[in-house]
Structure 1
Protein backbone atom coordinates (compact mmCIF):
# COMPACT_ATOMS: atom_id res chain seq x y z
CA UNK A 1 0.00 0.00 0.00
CA UNK A 2 1.45 3.29 -1.03
CA UNK A 3 2.36 5.59 1.77
CA UNK A 4 0.20 8.65 1.89
CA UNK A 5 2.06 11.91 1.83
CA UNK A 6 1.11 14.39 4.46
CA UNK A 7 -0.04 17.73 3.14
CA UNK A 8 1.65 20.53 5.04
CA UNK A 9 -0.46 23.63 5.69
CA UNK A 10 0.57 26.64 3.66
CA UNK A 11 2.59 29.16 5.67
CA UNK A 12 0.62 32.14 6.83
CA UNK A 13 1.26 35.36 4.99
CA UNK A 14 3.58 37.66 6.82
CA UNK A 15 2.10 40.72 8.46
CA UNK A 16 2.09 43.95 6.56
CA UNK A 17 5.10 46.16 7.40
CA UNK A 18 2.77 48.95 8.54
CA UNK A 19 1.05 46.63 11.05
CA UNK A 20 4.36 45.21 12.26
CA UNK A 21 5.84 48.67 12.79
CA UNK A 22 2.87 49.78 14.88
CA UNK A 23 2.98 46.58 16.93
CA UNK A 24 6.64 47.25 17.62
CA UNK A 25 5.77 50.82 18.56
CA UNK A 26 3.17 49.73 21.11
CA UNK A 27 5.62 47.19 22.49
CA UNK A 28 8.16 49.95 23.11
CA UNK A 29 5.48 52.31 24.43
CA UNK A 30 4.23 49.99 27.19
CA UNK A 31 7.79 49.42 28.40
CA UNK A 32 8.74 53.10 28.45
CA UNK A 33 8.65 54.52 31.98
CA UNK A 34 7.85 58.07 30.88
CA UNK A 35 4.98 56.89 28.72
CA UNK A 36 3.58 54.72 31.53
CA UNK A 37 3.76 57.48 34.15
CA UNK A 38 2.45 60.22 31.86
CA UNK A 39 -0.20 57.99 30.31
CA UNK A 40 -1.42 56.85 33.73
CA UNK A 41 -1.78 60.47 34.87
CA UNK A 42 -3.66 61.39 31.69
CA UNK A 43 -6.04 58.44 32.12
CA UNK A 44 -6.63 59.40 35.76
CA UNK A 45 -7.30 63.02 34.83
CA UNK A 46 -9.58 61.92 32.01
CA UNK A 47 -11.62 59.73 34.36
CA UNK A 48 -11.92 62.59 36.84
CA UNK A 49 -13.03 64.91 34.03
CA UNK A 50 -15.87 62.50 33.21
CA UNK A 51 -17.02 61.62 36.72
CA UNK A 52 -15.89 64.83 38.45
CA UNK A 53 -19.28 66.62 38.35
CA UNK A 54 -20.93 63.53 39.88
CA UNK A 55 -18.46 63.04 42.75
CA UNK A 56 -17.99 66.74 43.59
CA UNK A 57 -18.86 67.40 47.25
CA UNK A 58 -20.84 70.56 46.41
CA UNK A 59 -22.68 71.92 43.39
CA UNK A 60 -20.74 74.13 41.00
CA UNK A 61 -21.99 77.56 42.10
CA UNK A 62 -23.47 76.85 45.53
CA UNK A 63 -22.67 79.89 47.66
CA UNK A 64 -22.40 80.06 51.43
CA UNK A 65 -21.00 83.35 52.71
CA UNK A 66 -20.83 81.96 56.25
CA UNK A 67 -17.82 79.83 55.25
CA UNK A 68 -16.15 82.11 52.68
CA UNK A 69 -12.36 82.13 52.37
CA UNK A 70 -11.93 79.16 54.68
CA UNK A 71 -8.70 77.21 54.35
CA UNK A 72 -8.46 73.48 53.63
CA UNK A 73 -10.29 71.38 56.21
CA UNK A 74 -11.99 68.01 56.64
CA UNK A 75 -15.22 69.50 55.27
CA UNK A 76 -13.66 71.53 52.45
CA UNK A 77 -10.52 69.73 51.31
CA UNK A 78 -9.29 72.60 49.10
CA UNK A 79 -10.99 75.38 51.09
CA UNK A 80 -13.62 77.84 49.90
CA UNK A 81 -13.51 80.99 47.78
CA UNK A 82 -14.78 84.52 48.35
CA UNK A 83 -18.38 83.40 47.74
CA UNK A 84 -18.17 80.36 49.99
CA UNK A 85 -18.02 77.94 47.07
CA UNK A 86 -16.11 74.68 47.48
CA UNK A 87 -12.81 74.95 45.57
CA UNK A 88 -12.46 71.16 45.13
CA UNK A 89 -15.86 70.97 43.47
CA UNK A 90 -14.94 73.76 41.08
CA UNK A 91 -11.60 72.11 40.27
CA UNK A 92 -13.40 68.87 39.38
CA UNK A 93 -15.95 70.70 37.23
CA UNK A 94 -13.20 72.68 35.50
CA UNK A 95 -11.22 69.59 34.52
CA UNK A 96 -13.56 68.81 31.62
CA UNK A 97 -13.20 72.40 30.39
CA UNK A 98 -9.42 72.01 30.40
CA UNK A 99 -9.64 68.85 28.28
CA UNK A 100 -12.02 70.56 25.85
CA UNK A 101 -9.62 73.48 25.44
CA UNK A 102 -6.55 71.27 25.02
CA UNK A 103 -8.00 68.72 22.61
CA UNK A 104 -10.28 71.15 20.78
CA UNK A 105 -7.55 73.65 19.96
CA UNK A 106 -5.04 70.97 18.97
CA UNK A 107 -7.60 69.13 16.83
CA UNK A 108 -8.27 72.31 14.83
CA UNK A 109 -4.58 73.20 14.61
CA UNK A 110 -3.58 69.66 13.67
CA UNK A 111 -6.16 69.21 10.92
CA UNK A 112 -5.50 72.59 9.30
CA UNK A 113 -1.73 72.56 9.76
CA UNK A 114 -1.26 68.96 8.58
CA UNK A 115 -3.45 69.52 5.52
CA UNK A 116 -1.60 72.63 4.41
CA UNK A 117 1.79 71.14 5.27
CA UNK A 118 1.26 67.98 3.22
CA UNK A 119 -0.15 69.92 0.25
CA UNK A 120 2.79 72.32 0.41
CA UNK A 121 5.42 69.60 0.59
CA UNK A 122 3.81 67.31 -1.99
CA UNK A 123 3.11 69.81 -4.76
CA UNK A 124 6.00 72.21 -4.15
CA UNK A 125 6.56 75.13 -6.50
CA UNK A 126 4.31 78.16 -6.17
CA UNK A 127 1.92 76.27 -3.90
CA UNK A 128 4.72 75.59 -1.45
CA UNK A 129 5.95 79.19 -1.60
CA UNK A 130 2.54 80.75 -0.97
CA UNK A 131 1.57 78.42 1.90
CA UNK A 132 4.93 78.66 3.64
CA UNK A 133 5.05 82.44 3.42
CA UNK A 134 1.62 82.56 5.11
CA UNK A 135 2.92 80.19 7.78
CA UNK A 136 6.02 82.38 8.24
CA UNK A 137 3.81 85.39 8.91
CA UNK A 138 2.09 83.56 11.77
CA UNK A 139 5.39 82.23 13.10
CA UNK A 140 6.78 85.76 13.24
CA UNK A 141 4.56 86.51 16.24
CA UNK A 142 5.05 84.91 19.68
CA UNK A 143 2.24 82.46 20.34
CA UNK A 144 0.79 84.19 23.38
CA UNK A 145 0.93 87.64 21.70
CA UNK A 146 -0.89 86.29 18.66
CA UNK A 147 -3.51 84.62 20.87
CA UNK A 148 -3.97 87.87 22.80
CA UNK A 149 -4.52 89.81 19.59
CA UNK A 150 -7.03 87.28 18.26
CA UNK A 151 -9.03 87.07 21.49
CA UNK A 152 -8.99 90.86 21.83
CA UNK A 153 -10.45 91.04 18.31
CA UNK A 154 -13.02 88.25 18.65
CA UNK A 155 -13.88 88.99 22.27
CA UNK A 156 -13.43 86.95 25.46
CA UNK A 157 -14.98 83.52 25.74
CA UNK A 158 -14.10 79.83 25.72
CA UNK A 159 -14.77 79.26 22.01
CA UNK A 160 -12.68 82.24 20.98
CA UNK A 161 -9.82 81.03 23.17
CA UNK A 162 -9.87 77.68 21.36
CA UNK A 163 -9.82 79.42 17.97
CA UNK A 164 -7.00 81.72 19.07
CA UNK A 165 -4.82 78.87 20.34
CA UNK A 166 -5.51 76.83 17.21
CA UNK A 167 -4.50 79.70 14.93
CA UNK A 168 -1.30 80.18 16.89
CA UNK A 169 -0.47 76.45 16.84
CA UNK A 170 -1.24 75.37 13.27
CA UNK A 171 2.01 76.76 11.75
CA UNK A 172 4.06 74.27 13.80
CA UNK A 173 2.01 71.35 12.48
CA UNK A 174 2.32 72.72 8.94
CA UNK A 175 6.11 72.93 9.18
CA UNK A 176 6.44 69.41 10.59
CA UNK A 177 4.05 67.91 8.02
CA UNK A 178 5.82 69.68 5.14
CA UNK A 179 9.27 68.50 6.22
CA UNK A 180 8.15 64.90 6.63
CA UNK A 181 6.30 64.98 3.30
CA UNK A 182 9.39 66.22 1.47
CA UNK A 183 11.33 63.23 2.83
CA UNK A 184 8.63 60.63 2.12
CA UNK A 185 7.79 61.71 -1.44
CA UNK A 186 11.41 61.08 -2.49
CA UNK A 187 11.12 57.37 -1.66
CA UNK A 188 11.13 54.95 -4.59
CA UNK A 189 7.81 53.30 -3.79
CA UNK A 190 6.04 56.67 -4.15
CA UNK A 191 7.38 56.86 -7.72
CA UNK A 192 6.18 53.30 -8.27
CA UNK A 193 2.68 54.14 -7.06
CA UNK A 194 2.61 57.17 -9.36
CA UNK A 195 3.71 54.99 -12.29
CA UNK A 196 0.77 52.66 -11.60
CA UNK A 197 -1.59 55.58 -12.13
CA UNK A 198 -2.63 56.37 -8.56
CA UNK A 199 -4.21 59.79 -8.09
CA UNK A 200 -2.60 62.47 -5.95
CA UNK A 201 -5.41 62.21 -3.40
CA UNK A 202 -4.89 58.46 -3.03
CA UNK A 203 -1.12 58.85 -2.71
CA UNK A 204 -1.48 61.54 -0.04
CA UNK A 205 -4.08 59.66 2.02
CA UNK A 206 -2.80 56.10 1.63
CA UNK A 207 0.96 56.60 1.47
CA UNK A 208 2.06 60.07 2.56
CA UNK A 209 -0.15 60.65 5.61
CA UNK A 210 0.56 57.32 7.42
CA UNK A 211 4.30 57.96 7.08
CA UNK A 212 4.26 61.48 8.50
CA UNK A 213 2.09 60.73 11.54
CA UNK A 214 4.90 59.90 13.97
CA UNK A 215 6.27 63.43 14.57
CA UNK A 216 2.75 64.88 14.38
CA UNK A 217 1.52 62.59 17.17
CA UNK A 218 4.35 63.71 19.44
CA UNK A 219 3.68 67.35 18.60
CA UNK A 220 0.00 66.83 19.42
CA UNK A 221 0.73 65.76 23.02
CA UNK A 222 3.10 68.70 23.54
CA UNK A 223 0.68 71.16 21.94
CA UNK A 224 -2.12 70.08 24.26
CA UNK A 225 0.02 71.06 27.24
CA UNK A 226 1.03 74.34 25.59
CA UNK A 227 -2.57 75.11 24.66
CA UNK A 228 -3.80 74.59 28.22
CA UNK A 229 -1.08 76.92 29.52
CA UNK A 230 -2.00 79.56 26.93
CA UNK A 231 -5.69 79.27 27.79
CA UNK A 232 -4.92 79.61 31.50
CA UNK A 233 -2.83 82.70 30.76
CA UNK A 234 -5.60 84.30 28.72
CA UNK A 235 -8.16 83.57 31.42
CA UNK A 236 -5.79 84.93 34.05
CA UNK A 237 -5.67 88.17 32.07
CA UNK A 238 -9.46 88.26 31.88
CA UNK A 239 -9.66 87.42 28.16
CA UNK A 240 -10.52 83.73 28.42
CA UNK A 241 -13.37 81.97 30.18
CA UNK A 242 -15.49 84.42 32.13
CA UNK A 243 -16.87 84.11 35.70
CA UNK A 244 -18.51 82.08 37.09
CA UNK A 245 -16.80 79.50 34.84
CA UNK A 246 -14.64 77.03 36.83
CA UNK A 247 -11.85 77.18 34.24
CA UNK A 248 -8.58 76.94 36.15
CA UNK A 249 -7.01 80.09 34.71
CA UNK A 250 -10.14 82.06 35.59
CA UNK A 251 -9.97 80.64 39.13
CA UNK A 252 -6.37 81.85 39.37
CA UNK A 253 -7.44 85.30 38.24
CA UNK A 254 -10.22 85.40 40.83
CA UNK A 255 -7.92 84.20 43.59
CA UNK A 256 -5.02 86.58 43.04
CA UNK A 257 -6.81 89.31 45.04
CA UNK A 258 -6.69 87.03 48.09
CA UNK A 259 -3.17 85.63 47.69
CA UNK A 260 -2.10 86.75 51.19
CA UNK A 261 -5.34 86.11 53.08
CA UNK A 262 -6.36 82.89 51.29
CA UNK A 263 -3.41 81.49 49.28
CA UNK A 264 -5.24 78.20 48.70
CA UNK A 265 -7.33 79.97 46.04
CA UNK A 266 -4.24 80.15 43.82
CA UNK A 267 -2.48 76.99 44.99
CA UNK A 268 -5.30 74.62 44.03
CA UNK A 269 -5.84 75.67 40.39
CA UNK A 270 -2.12 76.34 39.94
CA UNK A 271 -1.17 72.80 41.01
CA UNK A 272 -3.97 71.37 38.85
CA UNK A 273 -2.63 73.19 35.77
CA UNK A 274 0.94 72.11 36.54
CA UNK A 275 -0.10 68.47 36.99
CA UNK A 276 -2.08 68.47 33.73
CA UNK A 277 0.78 70.00 31.73
CA UNK A 278 3.36 67.74 33.37
CA UNK A 279 1.35 64.62 32.50
CA UNK A 280 1.21 65.46 28.78
CA UNK A 281 4.86 66.55 28.64
CA UNK A 282 6.06 63.33 30.28
CA UNK A 283 3.85 61.24 28.02
CA UNK A 284 5.09 63.18 24.98
CA UNK A 285 8.71 62.36 25.86
CA UNK A 286 7.90 58.67 26.19
CA UNK A 287 5.89 58.73 22.97
CA UNK A 288 8.80 60.31 21.12
CA UNK A 289 11.22 57.62 22.33
CA UNK A 290 8.77 54.86 21.36
CA UNK A 291 8.13 56.23 17.88
CA UNK A 292 11.81 56.82 17.15
CA UNK A 293 14.06 54.76 19.45
CA UNK A 294 17.15 56.13 17.67
CA UNK A 295 16.60 59.50 19.39
CA UNK A 296 16.99 57.82 22.78
CA UNK A 297 20.51 56.72 21.86
Structure 2
Protein backbone atom coordinates (compact mmCIF):
# COMPACT_ATOMS: atom_id res chain seq x y z
CA UNK A 1 0.00 0.00 0.00
CA UNK A 2 1.33 3.41 -0.93
CA UNK A 3 2.18 5.84 1.88
CA UNK A 4 1.75 8.87 -0.38
CA UNK A 5 -0.41 11.42 1.51
CA UNK A 6 -3.83 12.02 0.00
CA UNK A 7 -4.82 15.52 -1.05
CA UNK A 8 -7.84 17.30 0.50
CA UNK A 9 -9.50 17.10 -2.92
CA UNK A 10 -9.32 13.31 -2.75
CA UNK A 11 -11.11 13.19 0.59
CA UNK A 12 -13.66 15.74 -0.64
CA UNK A 13 -14.43 13.48 -3.61
CA UNK A 14 -14.72 10.48 -1.28
CA UNK A 15 -17.25 12.29 0.89
CA UNK A 16 -19.19 13.46 -2.17
CA UNK A 17 -19.20 9.97 -3.70
CA UNK A 18 -20.55 8.52 -0.45
CA UNK A 19 -23.52 10.88 -0.70
CA UNK A 20 -25.66 8.91 -3.14
CA UNK A 21 -28.37 11.56 -3.35
CA UNK A 22 -25.85 14.23 -4.34
CA UNK A 23 -24.18 11.89 -6.83
CA UNK A 24 -27.48 11.07 -8.54
CA UNK A 25 -28.49 14.75 -8.45
CA UNK A 26 -25.19 15.75 -10.07
CA UNK A 27 -25.72 13.19 -12.81
CA UNK A 28 -29.27 14.40 -13.47
CA UNK A 29 -28.10 18.02 -13.51
CA UNK A 30 -25.32 17.17 -15.98
CA UNK A 31 -27.83 15.46 -18.29
CA UNK A 32 -30.14 18.49 -18.17
CA UNK A 33 -27.24 20.83 -18.96
CA UNK A 34 -26.16 18.64 -21.89
CA UNK A 35 -29.75 18.51 -23.12
CA UNK A 36 -29.95 22.31 -23.05
CA UNK A 37 -26.58 22.77 -24.78
CA UNK A 38 -27.35 20.31 -27.56
CA UNK A 39 -31.02 21.24 -27.93
CA UNK A 40 -30.81 21.75 -31.73
CA UNK A 41 -29.46 18.20 -32.10
CA UNK A 42 -32.12 16.67 -29.85
CA UNK A 43 -35.17 18.35 -31.36
CA UNK A 44 -36.29 18.13 -34.97
CA UNK A 45 -38.08 21.49 -34.97
CA UNK A 46 -37.54 25.01 -33.63
CA UNK A 47 -39.18 26.10 -30.40
CA UNK A 48 -41.37 28.65 -32.24
CA UNK A 49 -42.28 26.49 -35.26
CA UNK A 50 -46.06 26.02 -35.51
CA UNK A 51 -45.85 22.94 -37.71
CA UNK A 52 -48.51 20.89 -35.96
CA UNK A 53 -51.56 23.14 -35.86
CA UNK A 54 -53.73 20.25 -37.01
CA UNK A 55 -52.57 18.28 -33.94
CA UNK A 56 -52.93 21.16 -31.43
CA UNK A 57 -53.49 19.94 -27.85
CA UNK A 58 -52.43 16.42 -28.85
CA UNK A 59 -51.55 14.23 -25.89
CA UNK A 60 -48.14 12.54 -25.52
CA UNK A 61 -47.58 9.78 -28.06
CA UNK A 62 -44.81 8.18 -30.08
CA UNK A 63 -44.50 11.12 -32.51
CA UNK A 64 -44.88 13.82 -29.85
CA UNK A 65 -43.23 12.67 -26.63
CA UNK A 66 -44.70 15.49 -24.54
CA UNK A 67 -47.65 16.29 -26.81
CA UNK A 68 -48.43 19.48 -28.76
CA UNK A 69 -49.30 22.85 -27.26
CA UNK A 70 -52.22 25.16 -28.06
CA UNK A 71 -50.32 26.85 -30.92
CA UNK A 72 -49.25 23.67 -32.68
CA UNK A 73 -45.68 23.57 -31.36
CA UNK A 74 -43.90 20.40 -30.28
CA UNK A 75 -44.00 20.51 -26.49
CA UNK A 76 -40.86 18.42 -25.95
CA UNK A 77 -38.91 20.92 -28.05
CA UNK A 78 -40.16 23.81 -25.95
CA UNK A 79 -39.29 21.98 -22.73
CA UNK A 80 -35.75 21.37 -23.97
CA UNK A 81 -35.23 24.97 -25.07
CA UNK A 82 -36.87 26.14 -21.85
CA UNK A 83 -34.00 24.45 -20.00
CA UNK A 84 -31.64 26.82 -21.81
CA UNK A 85 -33.48 29.86 -20.50
CA UNK A 86 -33.77 28.62 -16.91
CA UNK A 87 -30.18 27.39 -16.66
CA UNK A 88 -28.73 30.48 -18.35
CA UNK A 89 -30.58 32.76 -15.96
CA UNK A 90 -29.61 30.56 -13.01
CA UNK A 91 -25.89 30.45 -13.83
CA UNK A 92 -25.68 34.12 -14.88
CA UNK A 93 -27.49 35.37 -11.78
CA UNK A 94 -25.32 33.15 -9.58
CA UNK A 95 -22.18 34.59 -11.20
CA UNK A 96 -23.39 38.15 -10.52
CA UNK A 97 -24.17 37.09 -6.94
CA UNK A 98 -20.51 36.15 -6.55
CA UNK A 99 -19.41 39.50 -7.97
CA UNK A 100 -21.45 41.28 -5.28
CA UNK A 101 -21.16 38.84 -2.39
CA UNK A 102 -17.44 37.98 -2.45
CA UNK A 103 -16.00 41.50 -1.99
CA UNK A 104 -18.62 42.50 0.59
CA UNK A 105 -18.13 39.29 2.57
CA UNK A 106 -14.35 39.59 2.41
CA UNK A 107 -14.39 43.24 3.57
CA UNK A 108 -16.79 42.48 6.43
CA UNK A 109 -14.81 39.43 7.57
CA UNK A 110 -11.35 41.01 7.34
CA UNK A 111 -11.94 44.51 8.69
CA UNK A 112 -14.76 43.77 11.14
CA UNK A 113 -15.97 46.70 13.23
CA UNK A 114 -17.82 49.40 11.35
CA UNK A 115 -17.37 47.75 7.94
CA UNK A 116 -18.86 44.51 9.26
CA UNK A 117 -21.73 46.44 10.87
CA UNK A 118 -22.58 48.20 7.61
CA UNK A 119 -22.53 44.98 5.57
CA UNK A 120 -24.68 43.14 8.12
CA UNK A 121 -27.25 45.96 8.14
CA UNK A 122 -27.35 45.77 4.34
CA UNK A 123 -27.90 42.01 4.56
CA UNK A 124 -30.72 42.54 7.06
CA UNK A 125 -32.34 45.01 4.69
CA UNK A 126 -32.36 42.52 1.82
CA UNK A 127 -33.46 39.72 4.17
CA UNK A 128 -36.51 41.66 5.37
CA UNK A 129 -37.81 42.55 1.90
CA UNK A 130 -39.70 39.58 0.33
CA UNK A 131 -37.76 38.72 -2.87
CA UNK A 132 -40.85 37.88 -4.92
CA UNK A 133 -42.64 41.09 -3.95
CA UNK A 134 -39.60 43.22 -4.83
CA UNK A 135 -39.09 41.25 -8.03
CA UNK A 136 -42.71 41.82 -9.05
CA UNK A 137 -42.36 45.56 -8.47
CA UNK A 138 -39.06 45.87 -10.36
CA UNK A 139 -40.29 43.55 -13.10
CA UNK A 140 -43.45 45.60 -13.59
CA UNK A 141 -41.43 48.83 -13.76
CA UNK A 142 -39.02 47.44 -16.36
CA UNK A 143 -41.47 45.17 -18.24
CA UNK A 144 -39.43 42.11 -17.30
CA UNK A 145 -37.02 40.44 -19.69
CA UNK A 146 -33.85 38.37 -19.39
CA UNK A 147 -31.52 41.07 -18.04
CA UNK A 148 -34.10 42.31 -15.54
CA UNK A 149 -34.59 38.83 -14.09
CA UNK A 150 -30.83 38.26 -13.84
CA UNK A 151 -30.38 41.60 -12.05
CA UNK A 152 -33.22 40.93 -9.62
CA UNK A 153 -32.00 37.41 -8.86
CA UNK A 154 -28.44 38.67 -8.28
CA UNK A 155 -29.65 41.42 -5.95
CA UNK A 156 -31.22 38.83 -3.66
CA UNK A 157 -28.83 35.95 -4.30
CA UNK A 158 -25.63 37.64 -3.07
CA UNK A 159 -26.68 37.54 0.59
CA UNK A 160 -25.96 33.84 1.06
CA UNK A 161 -22.63 34.10 -0.76
CA UNK A 162 -21.66 37.11 1.35
CA UNK A 163 -22.43 35.34 4.62
CA UNK A 164 -20.44 32.26 3.62
CA UNK A 165 -17.39 34.28 2.55
CA UNK A 166 -17.61 36.54 5.60
CA UNK A 167 -17.59 33.56 7.99
CA UNK A 168 -14.65 31.92 6.21
CA UNK A 169 -12.55 35.11 5.99
CA UNK A 170 -13.30 36.01 9.60
CA UNK A 171 -12.13 32.57 10.74
CA UNK A 172 -8.87 32.84 8.78
CA UNK A 173 -8.06 36.52 9.34
CA UNK A 174 -6.01 35.72 12.48
CA UNK A 175 -4.11 32.76 11.02
CA UNK A 176 -0.31 32.76 11.01
CA UNK A 177 0.07 33.15 7.25
CA UNK A 178 -2.10 36.29 7.32
CA UNK A 179 -0.08 37.79 10.17
CA UNK A 180 3.12 36.93 8.34
CA UNK A 181 1.87 38.74 5.23
CA UNK A 182 0.95 41.76 7.35
CA UNK A 183 4.41 41.76 8.95
CA UNK A 184 5.99 41.77 5.49
CA UNK A 185 4.05 44.91 4.62
CA UNK A 186 1.31 43.41 2.43
CA UNK A 187 -1.70 45.69 1.97
CA UNK A 188 -5.17 44.56 3.10
CA UNK A 189 -6.30 44.40 -0.52
CA UNK A 190 -3.40 42.13 -1.43
CA UNK A 191 -4.03 39.86 1.57
CA UNK A 192 -7.73 39.57 0.76
CA UNK A 193 -7.12 38.98 -2.95
CA UNK A 194 -4.15 36.61 -2.77
CA UNK A 195 -4.62 34.79 0.53
CA UNK A 196 -8.10 34.95 2.03
CA UNK A 197 -10.37 34.66 -1.01
CA UNK A 198 -8.42 31.70 -2.52
CA UNK A 199 -8.69 29.94 0.85
CA UNK A 200 -12.44 30.63 0.88
CA UNK A 201 -12.98 28.89 -2.46
CA UNK A 202 -15.05 26.08 -0.89
CA UNK A 203 -17.88 28.29 0.44
CA UNK A 204 -17.71 30.34 -2.76
CA UNK A 205 -18.36 27.25 -4.88
CA UNK A 206 -21.17 26.15 -2.57
CA UNK A 207 -22.71 29.63 -2.60
CA UNK A 208 -22.56 29.72 -6.39
CA UNK A 209 -24.30 26.36 -6.80
CA UNK A 210 -26.99 27.11 -4.21
CA UNK A 211 -27.73 30.50 -5.83
CA UNK A 212 -28.69 28.78 -9.11
CA UNK A 213 -32.01 27.19 -7.98
CA UNK A 214 -33.04 30.43 -6.24
CA UNK A 215 -32.62 32.35 -9.50
CA UNK A 216 -34.46 29.66 -11.45
CA UNK A 217 -37.41 29.72 -9.06
CA UNK A 218 -37.54 33.51 -9.22
CA UNK A 219 -37.52 33.42 -13.03
CA UNK A 220 -40.29 30.83 -13.05
CA UNK A 221 -42.36 32.88 -10.60
CA UNK A 222 -42.03 36.08 -12.65
CA UNK A 223 -42.71 34.25 -15.91
CA UNK A 224 -45.76 32.63 -14.32
CA UNK A 225 -47.00 36.11 -13.43
CA UNK A 226 -46.42 37.33 -16.98
CA UNK A 227 -43.42 39.62 -16.37
CA UNK A 228 -40.64 37.21 -17.21
CA UNK A 229 -39.00 36.26 -20.49
CA UNK A 230 -41.32 37.43 -23.30
CA UNK A 231 -42.74 34.86 -25.76
CA UNK A 232 -42.14 33.12 -28.08
CA UNK A 233 -38.91 32.29 -26.22
CA UNK A 234 -39.86 29.28 -24.07
CA UNK A 235 -39.64 29.56 -20.32
CA UNK A 236 -40.82 26.90 -17.90
CA UNK A 237 -42.63 29.46 -15.74
CA UNK A 238 -44.30 30.96 -18.79
CA UNK A 239 -45.32 27.47 -20.00
CA UNK A 240 -46.77 26.64 -16.57
CA UNK A 241 -48.77 29.87 -16.68
CA UNK A 242 -50.28 28.97 -20.05
CA UNK A 243 -50.74 25.31 -19.15
CA UNK A 244 -52.79 26.12 -16.04
CA UNK A 245 -55.54 27.43 -18.33
CA UNK A 246 -55.92 23.94 -19.83
CA UNK A 247 -55.10 21.87 -16.74
CA UNK A 248 -58.47 20.10 -16.47
CA UNK A 249 -58.58 19.09 -20.14
CA UNK A 250 -54.97 18.94 -21.37
CA UNK A 251 -52.95 18.07 -18.28
CA UNK A 252 -49.66 17.67 -20.14
CA UNK A 253 -49.41 21.40 -20.87
CA UNK A 254 -48.95 22.13 -17.15
CA UNK A 255 -47.49 18.89 -15.77
CA UNK A 256 -44.38 18.60 -17.96
CA UNK A 257 -42.95 22.12 -17.44
CA UNK A 258 -43.74 21.87 -13.72
CA UNK A 259 -41.95 18.52 -13.49
CA UNK A 260 -38.97 19.83 -15.47
CA UNK A 261 -38.59 22.82 -13.15
CA UNK A 262 -39.06 20.75 -10.00
CA UNK A 263 -36.53 18.10 -11.06
CA UNK A 264 -33.92 20.70 -12.06
CA UNK A 265 -34.28 22.74 -8.86
CA UNK A 266 -34.23 19.62 -6.69
CA UNK A 267 -31.17 18.21 -8.48
CA UNK A 268 -29.29 21.51 -8.17
CA UNK A 269 -30.18 21.87 -4.49
CA UNK A 270 -29.13 18.30 -3.61
CA UNK A 271 -25.92 18.72 -5.61
CA UNK A 272 -25.16 21.95 -3.76
CA UNK A 273 -25.84 20.33 -0.39
CA UNK A 274 -23.53 17.47 -1.32
CA UNK A 275 -20.77 19.89 -2.31
CA UNK A 276 -21.18 21.78 0.96
CA UNK A 277 -20.76 18.58 2.97
CA UNK A 278 -17.87 17.35 0.84
CA UNK A 279 -15.94 20.61 1.02
CA UNK A 280 -16.55 21.15 4.73
CA UNK A 281 -13.04 21.60 6.18
CA UNK A 282 -14.18 20.30 9.60
CA UNK A 283 -14.68 16.82 8.13
CA UNK A 284 -11.57 14.67 8.12
CA UNK A 285 -10.57 12.10 5.56
CA UNK A 286 -11.19 8.48 6.50
With structure 1 as the length reference, what TM-score do the two structures score? 0.88
| Residue segments in structure 2 that go unaligned for 5+ positions in a row | none
| Alpha-carbon distance, 1:31 to partner | 4.1
Q: Secondary structure at the match of 1:292?
A: coil
Aligned-pair Cα RMSD in Å: 2.0
Q: Secondary structure at the match of 1:257?
A: helix
> Paired residue for 1:135?
123
| Residue segments in structure 1 that go unaligned for 5+ positions in a row | 1-13
Deviations 1:226-285 (CA, angstroms, capped at 9, x unpaired) = 211111011000111112121111111111111111110001101110110111112122
How many equivalent pairs are there? 280
User: Residue 36 of structure 1 is aligned with which of 23, 26, 30?
Assistant: 23
Task: Determine if the alignment matches structure 1 residue 50 to structure 2 residue 37.
Answer: yes
Contact 1:49 1:92 (8 Å CA) reproduced: yes
> Paired residue for 2:164?
176
Which piece of structure 1 moves more, 20-29 or 132-141? Answer: 20-29
| Alpha-carbon distance, 1:293 to partner | 7.2
> Paired residue for 2:133?
145
Matches within 5 A, 1:79-98: 79-98=67-86
Q: Secondary structure at the match of 2:7?
A: helix
Contact 1:38 1:280 (8 Å CA) reproduced: yes
| Alpha-carbon distance, 1:65 to partner | 2.1
Distance 1:33-1:196 versus aligned 2 partners, 3 A rule: same
Deviations 1:113-163 (CA, angstroms, capped at 9, x unpaired) = 111111122122332233332222111112222222222232211110111
| Alpha-carbon distance, 1:197 to partner | 1.8
The 2-side partners of 1:28 and 1:134 are apart by 35
The 2-side partners of 1:208 and 1:23 are apart by 22
The 1-side partners of 2:162 and 2:12 are apart by 24
With structure 2 as the length reference, what TM-score do the two structures score? 0.91
> Paired residue for 1:205?
193
The 1-side partners of 2:123 and 2:282 are apart by 30
The 1-side partners of 2:62 and 2:181 are apart by 67
Contact 2:36 2:83 (8 Å CA) reproduced: yes
The 2-side partners of 1:293 and 1:122 are apart by 19
The runs of at least 4 aligned residues of structure 1 exceeding 3 Å deviation read: 293-296
The 2-side partners of 1:270 and 1:192 are apart by 54
> Paired residue for 2:152?
164
For the pair shown, the structure with the greater C-alpha radius of gyration is 1
Deviations 1:9-30 (CA, angstroms, capped at 9, x unpaired) = xxxxx98xxx932343234334
Contact 1:235 1:253 (8 Å CA) reproduced: yes
Distance 1:294-1:123 versus aligned 2 partners, 3 A rule: closer
Q: Secondary structure at the match of 1:242?
A: coil
Matches within 5 A, 1:104-253: 104-253=92-241
Deviations 1:150-178 (CA, angstroms, capped at 9, x unpaired) = 22232211110111111011122222222
